[in-house]
Amino acid sequence: MDNSICQVYEDEIQSLEEEIKLLAEKYEESQQESTFFSDEEILMSIKSFQREFQGQSKGHESPSDLKAQLESLETDLSFLMKFTGIQFTSHSKRTVEKTTNRTVRKHRLSGNCHSLSFQLEFQLLEMQNKETVSAVITDLSIIMESGEDSDVSKFVSSTEEHGNLLTFFRSLSSYAEWYEHRRCTFLHFK
Amino acid sequence: GVFTHLEMLEARAHEAAVKQEETEQQEEKLARLKARVQELRLQRDELRAKVDLQQKGQLGKEGVVSDPAQPSARTVLEWKIKSVKAMLQVFYLTGISGKLTKRGVCFCISTAYEGTYLDSYHLDLLTKAEVQIHRHSVPIFIPLEQIAKKYLQTDIRRFLSVLSDHLNAYAGRRYQADQLQGRFSNRIEGTLQRNSLCNLLVFNYNVSSKSKTFPFNARLLYGDLCCSLPTEVTVSCTPDAPASLAEMAAAHSDLFRRVALHKAFCSFSSAEESVD
C-alpha cells in the first residue's frame, strides 16, 4: 500500500518537473521575444561588462567569453548573408503554443536579396518525435516590393498556397542574381 | 531447551527490529517525497504567475518593450547572442546555412517538400588552398563528385545550388513515395518497389469502377534527377479489362506526370467517392 502512495508522489514529481521546465522556457522565450536592444546599447554593454568584471570569473562565462561568442556568431551571420545574397533586416518571433512535444511560433521576417526586398510572415510548427524534430510551415504570407510584376505575383501566390518557404528563398536567390545581372547589363548599355 | 527458546526470541526480536527500521525508512521516504511535491508545486505556481503577468503585460502592446528595470550588461549581451542565434536558425529555413571553421566553411543544405522540412545534409569544406570536401553526409547515390568536378573550384555558390537541386528533388521523390505508402496503403497491392535514389517506382494499385475493383500497375521513371515529377510513366491494366479502364489508365499516366504522386491518389479517392 505504501509503495503505491510513493508511486503517486513520484509521478506527480515528474509531471511537476516537466511543467516547471516548460514554464521556465516559456518565460525566457517570452522575455527574449518582447525585448529589444539597439546596437549602441549592445556596444555600451560590452564595454561596461568588461570594466565590471576585471579579472573575475564566478563560474559564469567571463566577459571575454561572451564577447568572443557574440563576435563568432556575428561573423558567421555576416558571412552567410554575403554568400547567399540574402540580407535579413529584421526578425521577430512570438511563441504561440508550447507543450513538451510541440512548439508553434509566429515569425516576421524582412530583408532583401540583391535589390529585391521582401516581407514574410509565417507560422512554424516544430514537433519532437523520438529522435527527430520535424518542422512545418503554415500560413505563409509574402509581400514583395516588385509585386506588380505578374510573374512575380503568380510565383508568390503559388508559394504561399503550399507554404513553400524553401523554394521561395532558392528561387529568390537565382531570380535576384539574374535580375541584378540584367540591371547591370542595361546600365552598361545606357 | 532453553537455548533453542532463547534463539527463537532473539530471532523474533531481530525480525521486529528490521521491520521497525523498514517502516521508519518508508515513512521517511514518504515524508521526503511529500515535501518535494510541496516544494515543486510552489515553484510551479510562482512560475505560472510570472508567465501570466508577462502575457498580460504584452496584451495590446504590439511592438517592442524594453525591460523596465535597468538591464545588466550581461543580460543585454545574452539577449543579443540569442537574437543572432535565432537569425542563424532562420537561414536553415532558406535552404543554405552554415558556419565558418578554422580551415574553411561547414555548409548545411536543408531540404523540404512544400512546407515540410525533411533531412538536411552537411558539407565540411576546406578553402585555404584549392577547395576540398573534407567530410560530408550526402548519400552515395547523389552524384556529388560529378557536381563538385564541374563547379566546386570555380563557383561554390553554383555548386551548392546544383547540389541542393539534386538533394531537394530526391527528398521530394522520397517524400511522395513515403506518403503513398503511408496514406494509401489500402490501395497498394503488395509492396511499393523503389530504388535508393527514389527515381524508379513500380507498384500495383486498385481502382474501383462501378463497385468493382481492378488492379493497375504503375511504373514511374524520374529521368531528371533535379525534378520530383516523373519523365516516363507507364500505367497498365490487365489485358481482359474493359475499354473504359484502358482510358482510365491513360488518364492516370498523364496525371502522374503532372501531379505529385500522393496528391494524385488523393484526387482518385475523392473522384471515386463522388461517382459511387
pLDDT digits (tens, 9 = 90+) for A8-17: 999 999 999 9
List the 134-173 stretch of A: residues with Cβ below 8 A of B: 134-138, 140, 162-167, 169-170, 173
Per-residue pLDDT of chain B (276 residues; tens, 9 = 90+): 889 899 999 999 999 999 999 989 989 999 999 999 999 999 999 999 988 888 877 554 444 444 456 778 888 889 999 999 999 999 999 999 999 999 999 999 999 999 999 999 999 999 988 999 999 999 999 999 999 999 999 999 999 999 999 999 999 999 999 999 999 998 898 899 999 999 999 999 988 877 788 899 999 999 999 999 999 999 998 877 788 888 889 999 999 999 999 999 999 877 766 554
Q: What does the alpha-carbon distance between residue B195 and residue A155 come to, in Å, rounded to a whole number? A: 32
Give the number of other CB atoms < 10 A from CB of residue A49: 19
Cβ <8 Å between A5 and B87: no
Q: Count of alpha carbons within 13 Å of A25, Cβ hemisphere only?
A: 13
Give the number of other CB atoms < 10 A from CB of residue B257: 14
C-alpha cell, A158: 503559388
Cβ <8 Å between B95 and A170: yes
Q: Return phi, psi of residue B228, to 5°.
A: -105, 20
Q: What does the alpha-carbon distance between residue A144 and residue A153 come to, in Å, rounded to a whole number? A: 8
Give the number of other CB atoms < 10 A from CB of residue B107: 22
Work out the widest C-alpha separation in chain A, in whole angstroms. 92
Q: What is the DSSP string of B6-18?
A: HHHHHHHHHHHHH
* Beta strands per DSSP E along A50-101: 86-98
Nearest CA in chain A to B59: A34
ipTM of the complex: 0.84
Nearest CA in chain B to A19: B44
Q: Return phi, psi of residue B2, to 5°.
A: -65, -45
Nearest CA among B262, B233, B263 for reference residue B249: B233
- The pLDDT value given to residue B66: 46
pLDDT digits (tens, 9 = 90+) for A11-67: 999 999 999 999 998 898 888 888 888 888 888 888 887 776 665 555 566 667 888
A70, containing H or E segment: helix A63-84
Nearest CA among B255, B244, B263 for reference residue B218: B255
Q: Are B52 and B44 in contact (CB under 8 A)?
A: no
- The pLDDT value given to residue A55: 53
- The pLDDT value given to residue B62: 45
Position A172 pLDDT exceeds 50 = yes
At B149, the amino acid letter reads K
Q: Mean pLDDT of all residues in chain A?
A: 86
Cβ <8 Å between A66 and B81: yes
Q: Please report which residue ranges of chain B form alpha helices under DSSP H.
A: 2-58, 73-94, 144-151, 156-183, 243-258, 261-275
pLDDT digits (tens, 9 = 90+) for A117-166: 899 999 999 998 878 888 999 999 999 887 667 777 888 888 999 999 99
Q: What does the alpha-carbon distance between residue B81 and residue B86 come to, in Å, rounded to a whole number? A: 9
pTM: 0.84
Residues 6+ apart with CB under 8 A from A69: A61, B81
C-alpha cell, B149: 568536378
What is the separation, in whole angstroms, between the first and last Cα of chain B?
95
Q: What percentage of chain A has pLDDT greater than the value 70?
A: 91
Cβ <8 Å between A13 and B40: yes
DSSP state of B108: E
List the 18-57 stretch of A: residues with Cβ below 8 A of B: 19-20, 23-24, 26-27, 30-32, 34-37, 41-42, 44-46, 48-49, 52
